[in-house]
């Protein structure tokens, strides 16, 4: 378990602070993560990688000359927000475009795509590579649905080397995609991992058993077996990966020589000791040789971890001549070094973090400022109900996901309340208050739910505006806008077992009440009852989106955590509307 922490909610920030303090030769901190502390060649591609914290050396440990130019660092097991990614990318940009690299998880895809769109809108050439190396997370025919685990390293290393060598953006992304196509990984775990402040692991494995196909966020494996010997484990890992030798691509050289050299990476997930890994790798090396494969520059150690999870994964990176040259290119990062690099000059001391400029507060009417106070009260009610139910939300999420929904919701709603309070104190109207609260929620929560809740608050703010007093019609329009934005961006529809299964019937019930001439409080109350029933009904659905999808059957009988949290929040907000209505009637 994780023993050394202060406030669990501050763990990621304090970890980054300590990392930068101890590695200032390589990195400097910016809002959202870290960037190189050295100057890069102008007009070259910048590689910005990222993901949730809790996986060191990924991602910050791979920032340095010959490797990444920056890393966006989300909260524990939660993707960085679009704002964090944007901040890091702006700070890392050398003028030759930005390549974003990340593991293929729903939250990461959402946030990195948002940041990419924003960078492109500013005229910056921005591309993305989502790593998909984990063979256990989807069949070969659905390769694009696979998640990224320790194969992140191979893709990031060769893409970074290409950028360092002055390759164009087109050539750099081609290298990254080729490396991703030629990388396969498979992992196992013996125990779960425990987040700071938690009194039990995200999942457990029965004593004497091994979970097969484990994900780096603590996602349950696809099966269990008795714990094997070290040799038997090596045989399992190698046999699985050798069933998935990458297909030859158009233009690739034919013949055995083009398919006989591999980089093997035996990765420890957190608490398997190096000595144990060496015993396993001894047999891995024998098996690769017996299969006619030459192991090139083997890596054995902790490269992509999962806090204190006891487990390991094997990655095979199938080389060609160009990829091998780029793999061996010099690199100097805190956690990965190859050859010798010529030290670049440090960045100037007057470096400015792109996030340091405070947003201005637009003018607002007195009626809208009064509405902003009511918005703050509603967010406060949401915070209270999330705080009271965070542990249960995490338990529900852990059934088929990674168990961090409660923690993420706490971080998001607390940040939203703080941002809203600051906005109200500066005289903001309802729209501005909701916009800043939504941005703060997305920024601090990260993950898919952070992106969606941030989007929802912004949509409601757009409908309310900063001029008129918020009324029932505007609120209903805002909820409709939130539903449309979430479904368009997240691609979930009713029946996929997500918060959309609550949001859509809530939207319809609210609109129906408002159209019938009911007050906002009455309409919202009736819609909240519909939302609660809809959340309960998700227990009978199979998840078709997100991290729970590969373990759909395990979630049958348990409601979706995102749906439950939304139902709780809309009910809590109704209580504030009832109180407001009572005050007005008795005034």
H-helix segments, 65-211: 82-92, 106-121, 152-164, 169-181
- pLDDT digits 0-9 by tens, 410-442: 989 999 999 999 999 999 999 999 999 999 998
- pLDDT digits 0-9 by tens, 119-157: 999 999 999 999 999 999 999 999 999 999 999 999 999
Does CATH place domain 8-332 in 3.40.50.10440? yes
In the chain, % helix, strand, coil (3-state, to 5) comes to 50, 15, 35
Is it true that the peptide bond before 57 is cis, omega within 30 degrees of 0? yes
pLDDT at 202: 74
pTM for this entry: 0.82
pLDDT at 407: 82
Q: Is 217 known to be catalytic? A: yes
pLDDT at 553: 65
Q: From the candidates 217, 405, 551, 574, give the one annotated as an active-site residue.
A: 217
Domain ranges of the chain: 8-332, 366-586
Round to whole Å and give the CA distance between 30 and 38.
14
pLDDT at 348: 65
Round to whole Å and give the CA distance between 391 and 213.
26
3-state SS, one letter per residue, for 185-203 = EEEEEEECCCCCCCCCCCC
Strand order in the sheet with 70-76: 27-30, 33-36, 70-76, 46-53, 98-103, 126-131
**CA distances in angstroms from 482 to 197, 420, 539, listed in the order given:** 33, 18, 24
pLDDT at 256: 41
Tokens matching residue 330: 């010099």
Q: Is there a contact between 459 and 481 (Cβ–Cβ < 8 Å)?
A: yes
Q: Which residues of the chain have pLDDT under 50?
A: 255-258
| CATH architecture designation of domain 366-586 | Alpha Horseshoe (1.25)
pLDDT at 356: 59
Backbone φ and ψ for 322, nearest 5 degrees, come out as -70, -45
Alpha-carbon Rg for the chain, nearest whole angstrom, is 25
Backbone φ and ψ for 53, nearest 5 degrees, come out as -75, 165
- The sign of the dihedral angle between the CA atoms of 31, 34, 38, 43 is negative
pLDDT at 257: 40
């Amino acid at each position: 378990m994780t023993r050394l922490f202060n406030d669990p909610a501050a763990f990621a920030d304090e970890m980054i602070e300590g990392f930068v303090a101890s590695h200032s030769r390589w990195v400097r901190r910016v809002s959202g993560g870290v960037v190189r502390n050295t100057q890069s060649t102008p007009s070259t591609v910048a590689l910005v990688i990222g993901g949730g914290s809790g996986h060191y050396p990924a991602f910050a440990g791979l920032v340095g000359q010959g490797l990444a130019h920056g890393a966006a660092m989300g909260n524990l097991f939660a993707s960085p927000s679009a704002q964090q990614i944007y901040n890091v990318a702006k700070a890392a940009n050398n003028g030759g475009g930005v390549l974003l690299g990340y593991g293929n998880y729903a939250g990461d895809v959402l946030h990195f795509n948002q940041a990419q769109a924003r960078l492109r809108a500013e005229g910056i050439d921005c591309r993305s590579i989502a790593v998909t190396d984990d063979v256990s997370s989807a069949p070969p025919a659905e390769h694009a649905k696979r998640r990224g685990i320790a194969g992140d390293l191979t893709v990031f290393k060769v893409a970074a080397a290409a950028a360092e060598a002055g390759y164009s953006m087109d050539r750099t992304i081609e290298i990254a995609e080729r490396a991703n196509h030629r990388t396969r990984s498979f992992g196992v775990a013996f125990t779960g991992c425990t987040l700071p402040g938690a009194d039990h692991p995200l999942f457990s494995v029965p004593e004497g058993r091994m979970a097969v196909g484990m994900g780096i966020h603590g996602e349950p494996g696809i099966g269990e077996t008795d714990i094997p010997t070290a040799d038997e484990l090596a045989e399992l890992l190698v046999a699985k990966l050798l069933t998935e030798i990458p297909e030859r691509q158009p233009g690739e050289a034919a013949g055995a020589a083009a398919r006989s050299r591999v980089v093997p990476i035996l990765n420890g997930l957190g608490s398997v000791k190096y000595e144990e890994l060496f015993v396993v790798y001894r047999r891995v090396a024998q098996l690769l040789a017996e299969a006619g494969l030459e192991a090139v520059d083997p890596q054995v150690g902790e490269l992509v971890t999962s806090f204190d999870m006891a487990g390991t994964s094997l990655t095979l990176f199938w080389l060609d001549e160009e990829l091998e040259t780029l793999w061996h290119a010099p690199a100097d990062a805190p956690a990965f070094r190859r050859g010798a690099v010529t030290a670049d000059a440090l960045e100037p001391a007057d470096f400015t973090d792109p996030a340091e400029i405070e947003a201005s507060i637009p003018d607002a009417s007195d009626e809208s400022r009064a509405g902003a106070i009511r918005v703050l009260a509603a967010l406060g009610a949401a915070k209270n109900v999330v705080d009271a139910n965070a542990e249960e939300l995490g338990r529900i999420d852990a059934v088929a996901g990674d168990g961090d929904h409660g923690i993420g919701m706490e971080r998001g709603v607390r940040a939203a309340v703080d941002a809203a309070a600051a906005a109200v104190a500066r005289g903001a109207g309802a729209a501005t208050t909701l916009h800043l609260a939504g941005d703060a929620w997305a920024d601090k929560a990260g993950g898919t739910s952070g992106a969606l809740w941030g989007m929802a608050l912004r949509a409601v703010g757009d409908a309310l505006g900063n001029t008129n007093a918020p009324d029932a019609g505007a609120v209903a329009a805002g909820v409709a806008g939130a539903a449309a934005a979430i479904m368009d961006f997240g691609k979930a529809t009713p029946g996929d077992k997500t918060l959309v299964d609550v949001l859509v019937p809530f939207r319809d019930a609210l609109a129906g009440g408002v159209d019938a001439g009911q007050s906002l409080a009455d309409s919202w109350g009736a819609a909240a009852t519909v939302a609660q029933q809809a959340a309960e009904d998700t227990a009978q659905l199979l998840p078709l989106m997100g991290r729970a999808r590969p373990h759909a059957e395990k979630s049958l009988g348990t409601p979706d955590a995102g749906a439950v949290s939304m139902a709780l929040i809309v009910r809590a907000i109704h209580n504030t509307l009832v109180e407001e209505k009572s005050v007005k009637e008795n005034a």
